[in-house]
Amino acid sequence: MNEILFLAALLTGSHLPGMVGAAGRLGTTVASRLDTAAAEPGEPGASGTATAARWWRMDLDRPGGFLLSARFRARIEVDADTTTVRLTYVLQPGRGVTELPVSIARLEDAEVRGIRASWNGRAAGVVFVAGGGAALHGAIALPGARPDVPGTLDLTYTVPTPGAADRPVRVPVVAALWPIARPQPGTFTAEIVTARGMAAYEGFPTRLRTASGGGNDRRYRLAAPEVPPLVGFRLAQDLAPWFTMAALLAAALLGAILGFVLPGWRQKRRRAL
């Protein structure tokens, strides 16, 4: 029941408008808000909206390439009300393909900002077309892409998450619009990193699982066979320190002491009465 309520709040809650049928208020200023990395002439970052507009004429039944894997990592900065995302795709472009069509779900309370992209370590241009609908569409350049040779596309961006500790958190995924070459349960993997003292739980598209953390961080992971439009979860104060082995042993010792002391104290009190 809790998972059903979580998904309802995540997708259709009154303070979290649903992605489907509820366009965000990004307006026509989105393209200017998304920082564009340097690109070579003729690539999306240099040719502006005209290049991104070519996405609308692409035949998705005959894609320009295939998606091999996707790794998503989000770090929650509760004090700064910001989530920092790193998304890594392994792609296999087709012949003559120099850009990847992408989309971002429009979420009123989770606007993607400051996108940076690189293809095999080389800066790649990013262009989006501002318009209506439930998603924002665009293209990312793949400079020097070779046909049927896998390459790595690295994306970084931020998402404002004010009051993240008090409500469900939704982090949009810049989704590659190429089909998955070999779908499997771990095609898409996500890691959520929180500072110690905060805990993430539930999860979308699948339930979060606790992973080993490093330093003061706590890490959680999930996996899915496809790239979702968003990764969702809840944040709360971390109660784990109260359930460590040391804490449990201390509680057991205290219980044993009370178990011996209380009966004697009650007996003495009865005699005194």
Hey, where are the domains in the chain?
2-238, 245-273
Q: In CATH, what class is 2-238?
A: mainly beta
For residue 122, which phi and psi values (nearest 5 degrees)? -110, 130
pLDDT digits (tens, 9 = 90+) for 162-195: 776 667 889 999 999 999 999 999 999 999 998 8
Give pLDDT, residue 15. Answer: 34
Q: Which of 104-108, 148-152, 196-200, 259-263 is the least confident region?
A: 259-263
Exposure of 227 in the CB half-sphere (CA atoms within 13 A): 26
For residue 251, pLDDT beyond 60:
yes
pLDDT digits (tens, 9 = 90+) for 31-65: 333 333 333 333 333 334 344 444 444 445 567 99
According to DSSP, the β-strands at 175-176 and 113-119 are unpaired
Is residue 212 very low, low, confident or very high in pLDDT (cuts 50, 70, 90)? confident
Give pLDDT, residue 126. Answer: 95
Average pLDDT over residues 95-111: 92
Quote the pTM value.
0.70
